[in-house]
Copies of this chain bind each other. A is one copy, B any other.
Amino acid sequence: MPKSEFYGKSVLITGGMGFIGSNLAIRLTELGANVTILDAMIADYGGNEFNIMPVNDQVRVNFCDIRDESAVTYLVRGKDYVFHLAGQVCHLMSMTNPFPDIDMNITATAILMEACRKYNPDAVVVYTGTRGQYGPSVSLPVNEEAPTNPKGIYEISNLTAEKIIKVYNDVHGIRSVLLRLSNIYGPRSQMRHSRFGVCNWFVRLAMDNQPIQVFGDGSILRDFCYVDDTVEAILRVAITPAAYGEIFNVGSDIPVTFLELVKVIIKQAGRGQWNFAEFSPERKAQEPGDFYSDVNKILRFTGWVPETSLEDGLTKTIDYYTKYGAHYWDTQFGRELINVQTAPLSTHK
């Protein structure tokens, strides 16, 4: 992509201390943008100050909640681009307490869009939703016209945020791009628990030589997209006027089974173990089944394709955590694990 597009531009990244947000912040800083990060640093969410170490003295970090209407409204002013990544992202939590999702993913998105409407209608907004917005796949690969019947409150809240932003695009003229991200993995994802980020969690287990549980027969299909490719997709849509008002999948149309994923992780890590585990009835009920993205639309609009193979992406991921793992989890690399067995199990998100 032309590096100059973001040079000297002011950008706001909500959730910028988190996994994708921090990778985006680093890339935008490299491209010469003036980056402001907004993050609430909620415990057990993705925020980690170490994530932005490479650009720590070049970005402006503003700690506040995205539901803080006054602060959000102030920070939106004067920004050329707003990358809206902050939110509650745990499916399981949303099924026992729906209110954080409604507050952080729906109300906060409305606060942000109202701020744009009133004080910065020229901003371009990019929103990162989830492939979970589709729910069970009707046919594969899943394109952007597929029905949206999400199976959880978290996924519903993302769909609602998307639709709110779309209305602000269509009715109020706030140019916006709506992304539906598949399973993203790579450096800077939290590694403390398994509640979101299944691929990174498996990487941790392999690195710690702890057993990885593969549910059912391990044949469920997913597509996994490396975070650098994801960042590239986010940047491309932001500077593509034809993309404004459009919904795009961001993922890989090369599906792998969970069993294949686990085997590649163990191979690239050079250690690790796995075993089959039964689905619990609850887990089974909430498992949406096979999913992989049709990414032809974003290719047509922007030329983007995922360029990183699963092997390469996992190698880079493992290298990162081999160097910096101490900043992501306390007990690692074979030392005693305290929380793994009691932590809620991943739902293969």
> Which of chain B's residues has its CB closest to A98's CB?
B110
- A99–B114 Cα gap in the complex (Å)? 10
**Does A46 interact with chain B (Cβ within 8 Å)?**
no
- Contacting pair A114 B98 (CB below 8 A): yes
Contacts of A338 in B (CB 8 A): none
* Known contacts A98-B110, A110-B102: A167-B152 contact under CB 8 Å: yes
Q: Is A1 an interface residue (CB 8 A)?
A: no
* Residue A42 lies at the interface, judged by CB distance under 8 Å to chain B: no
Query: With an 8 A cutoff between CB atoms, is A151 at the interface?
Result: yes
CB neighbours of A150 from chain B (8 A): 163, 167
Contacts of A166-180 to chain B: CB distance below 8 A: 166-167, 170-171
Query: In the complex, are the beta carbons of A164 and B156 less than 8 A apart?
Result: yes
Chain B residues near A102 (CB-CB < 8 A): 102, 106-107, 110
Whether A159 is near chain B, meaning CB under 8 Å from some CB there, is: yes
Answer yes or no: A286 CB below 8 A from chain B CBs: yes
Out of B113, B147, B149, B156, name the residue touching A160 (CB < 8 Å): B156
The number of times this chain is found in the oligomer is: 2
B99 touches A107 (CB 8 A): yes
A148, CB-defined interface residue at 8 Å = yes
| Interface: A95 (CB within 8 A) | yes
- Asked if A151 and B170 sit within 8 Å, CB to CB, the answer is yes
Q: A102-B106, A102-B110, A110-B98 are in contact. Are A171 and B151 (CB under 8 A)?
A: yes
From B106, B156, B167, A167 is in contact (CB under 8 Å) with B156
Q: Does A43 make an interface contact (CB < 8 A)?
A: no
CA distance A106 to B103 in the complex (A): 10
With A147-B147, A153-B164 known, 11 other A-B pairs at CB within 8 A are: A95-B171, A98-B114, A98-B164, A99-B110, A102-B106, A102-B107, A106-B106, A151-B171, A153-B167, A156-B160, A156-B167
Name A's B-contacting residues (CB within 8 A): 95, 98-99, 102, 106-107, 110, 113-114, 145, 147-153, 156-157, 159-160, 163-164, 166-167, 170-171, 285-286
Can you offer 15 A-B residue contacts whose CB atoms are under 8 A?
Answer: A95-B167, A98-B113, A102-B107, A110-B153, A148-B148, A149-B166, A150-B167, A151-B170, A152-B171, A153-B164, A153-B167, A156-B160, A170-B285, A171-B285, A171-B286
